Amino acid sequence: MDNRHELIKLKILIVDDQPINHELLNGMLREAGYSRINDIIDSRDAAEAYKKFKPDLVILDLNMPHLDGFDVMEQILEIDPEAYAPILVLTSETDQEYRVKALQSGASDFLNKPFDFIEGLTRVESLLSIRWMYNQLLEQNKNLDILVSERTQELELESQNRRDAEERNIYLAMHDSRTGLPNRLLLEDNIQKLIDMGEQQSFTLMSIYLERFHEINHTLGHHNGNALLGKVAKRLSQLSLAIDSSMVIESVDGVDQCIAVLEGVNFGLLIDNNKIDSTGEDGLQEQLAKIANDLLAKMEEPFEYQGMSLDIGAHIGMAIFPSHGTEPGILMQHAYIALEFAQRKNDHYAIYSSEVDPYSARRLTLMGELRTAIDKDLLKMAYQPQIDVINGKLIGVEALLRWNHEELGFVPPDEFIPLAEQTGVIKPLTRWVLKTAITQCADFLNRGMSIRMGINLSARNLQEKELTDYLIDLITEHNVPPELLVLEITESAMMEDRDHATKVLNDLDDKGFRISIDDYGTGYSSLAYIRQLPIKEIKIDRSFVMDMIEQKDDMMIVHTTIEMSHNLGLEVVAEGVENQESLEELKKMGCDVAQGYHLSRPVPVADLLEWIKEAEWKVDKPQ
């Protein structure tokens, strides 16, 4: 490799007490193109010159007065012990021991005096080439160190960002998005840890429900409702910390938090029964009643908001560990049952008992066996046809869950689905329904029938981060277009957390799924709110449709809903079509789709296929 144009840029230090040698060496080097040369006559100046000049090669005479070449090499090695410049020694000595000593002292090569110019230049350029390659290696290592350092910093930043994101996701998963308080999951985790400590640990779960928030939301709007909820949660948090026996759910930066959001406007508080001065179960319940009454009395003080004085009432339901349950889900269920009892009786509070929950044995049986029914595929699916009223076609079916219990017989969905929501079984239950329904939708396609599949989702399902991904995986596995899936959500499910529900529904809509509002007219939403959502259809609740021929008010509601929905570009499905006259009237009103017993009851898939063969309704083929 010809690198001579790089070599002539290097620096050479000549240390020799004979001026004639300097003259000869300079002539040889400068004629070859080297110009960066430093001449030292007095060897005592050599070390200082080496420091300042930083040469790439030292040409050094060994026999000099004051300091000989060995002394100079010793000084150079002290200055630069690991990376000193190569040293070309000038000497007339031929003794082997002398030369070995020079090599051991730091010499790199020898040039005999008197020297030949060609040999001298060759040895100089040989050592300079080595030095140049060494310098290149140093530069490459330096650049590599910089790249490694920069990449290390990038990886450390990425790792930190990942850790921050993971911590943020964990925080969001464990906290209520509106108030920032711990949520149900974090409270359940705390309860499980207390339970794991054994029955010597006694505590009470208080379920606190805020009244009149639906009215406030409808009057002032959800934005103001959420702002007011933050003020109420702050007061509740402060009051809970003032209770001597309250238990800390979370401590962040030295700030304790004793309140958790169970869902909506339902809060949870843990009381350490061991810190309550009482005798026996009756004494404990008396003290718990006092704590509840004191808390409720302070919550009754009006809240000042935007110039208004607002009263926020509350009810409390309580369940005691271990008397009322030894699992987090059971304790929460029993506290909620006690809360419902207090609300029904218009009492401020209630403590769980078997008298409060007359269905406890049945509920416990169902809760315990529902998961088994899911795992062992003991549940069944029925399908109710949906007819395109205008074109006379079978356009879709609604998938409806059925459970025939071995001992209890038929268990209605409105009994076991709320239990599934309260005990955490709703996720595997929904997974079972989705998988079964989508598999059946794929079977319809394989039979040459393009039939929409309506599937009901609950409020809890809208909280699942993996819901959209799970649906995508299922339809991909079974080759089902997303537009054939109609995801039906009730008004109440949307209203529990409007912002989050809107985000989830937009995500599902972006993936091509069809969103439907189920049981429209029974909740609190309005078409003005619904128009902000990616809704494709409205399902009018059967309670308005089934008696509309006799009840003119119901007829007016159905007619108005159809007109307003069409103005918003929404398709309308009428549930509860019980007779031909209702079907004809819906057709006159321009209703798009009808569903009800007059057309068909919900039936197993085998019966549905027979119905399709015999019925007058046509079915579209897959495109």
d(CA 588, CA 528): 25
- Please give the average per-residue pLDDT across 247-262, as a whole number: 92
**4-141 and 368-619 share one fold:** no
Query: What's the angle, vertex CA 219, arms to CA 214 and CA 221, rounded to 5?
Result: 80
Whether the ω angle into residue 322 lies within 30 degrees of 0, i.e. cis, is yes
β partners of residue 386: 396
Q: Give exposure, 8-21, as e/b (b: 16+ Cβ within 10 Å).
A: eebbbbbbbbeeeb
Contact 338, 347 (CB under 8 A): no
Give the pLDDT band (50/70/90) at residue 495: low
Q: Which helix (H) or strand (E) holds 429?
A: helix 426-446
3-state secondary structure 543-555: HHHCCCCCCHHHH
Would you state the pLDDT for residue 360?
62
Report pLDDT digits (tens) over 280-331: 888 999 999 999 999 998 988 888 888 788 888 889 999 999 989 899 999 9
Highest-scoring range by mean pLDDT, 23-32, 353-362, 369-378: 23-32
User: Which CATH fold topology does 184-358 show?
Assistant: Alpha-Beta Plaits (3.30.70)
- Please give the average per-residue pLDDT across 14-39, as a whole number: 92
- Please give the average per-residue pLDDT across 342-346, as a whole number: 78
Identify the weakest region by mean pLDDT among 315-329, 351-365, 511-525: 351-365
The whole-chain average pLDDT of the chain stands at: 88
- Please give the average per-residue pLDDT across 370-383, as a whole number: 89
Nearest partner of 333 among 316, 317, 355, judged by Cα: 317
Give the pLDDT band (50/70/90) at residue 355: low
Whether the ω angle into residue 602 lies within 30 degrees of 0, i.e. cis, is no
- Please give the average per-residue pLDDT across 267-291, as a whole number: 91
Would you state the pLDDT for residue 178?
87
- Please give the DSSP secondary-structure letter assigned to residue 181: -
Identify the weakest region by mean pLDDT among 115-124, 322-331, 489-498, 607-616: 489-498
d(CA 562, CA 571): 8
Contact 424, 329 (CB under 8 A): yes
Would you state the pLDDT for residue 71?
92
- Tell me the whole-structure pTM to 2 decimals: 0.49
Where exactly are the structural domains of the chain?
4-141, 184-358, 368-619
Contact 269, 294 (CB under 8 A): no
Give the pLDDT band (50/70/90) at residue 499: confident
18: pLDDT strictly greater than 70: yes
Identify the weakest region by mean pLDDT among 88-102, 326-340, 513-527: 513-527
Report pLDDT digits (tens) over 211-238: 878 777 777 887 888 888 888 899 999 9
Identify the weakest region by mean pLDDT among 24-38, 426-440, 472-486, 487-501: 487-501
Would you state the pLDDT for residue 2?
64
Number of Cβ within a 10 Å radius of residue 430: 23
Would you state the pLDDT for residue 359?
58
556: pLDDT strictly greater than 90: yes
478: pLDDT strictly greater than 70: yes
Strands 571-574 and 537-540: parallel
Would you state the pLDDT for residue 105?
87
Would you state the pLDDT for residue 223?
83
36 is written with which tokens?
């960066």
Would you state the pLDDT for residue 165?
87
Which amino acid is residue 111, in one-letter code?
Answer: L
d(CA 36, CA 14): 11
- What is the percentage of the chain residues whose pLDDT exceeds 70? 96
Long-range contacts of the stretch 366-369 (C-beta < 8 A, 24+) = 366/405, 366/408, 366/411, 366/415, 366/416, 366/419, 367/329, 367/330, 367/333, 367/419, 367/423, 367/425, 369/405
Tally helices (H) and strands (E) across the chain.
22, 24
Asked if CATH classification 3.20.20.450 holds for the domain at 368-619, the reply, yes or no, is: yes
Domain 4-141: CATH superfamily is Response regulator (3.40.50.2300)
Name the 3-class secondary structure at 458.
Answer: coil
pLDDT higher at 498 or 187:
187
Would you state the pLDDT for residue 420?
82
Identify the weakest region by mean pLDDT among 60-64, 525-529, 612-616: 525-529
pLDDT higher at 313 or 48:
48
- Please give the average per-residue pLDDT across 462-489, as a whole number: 92
Would you state the pLDDT for residue 341?
84
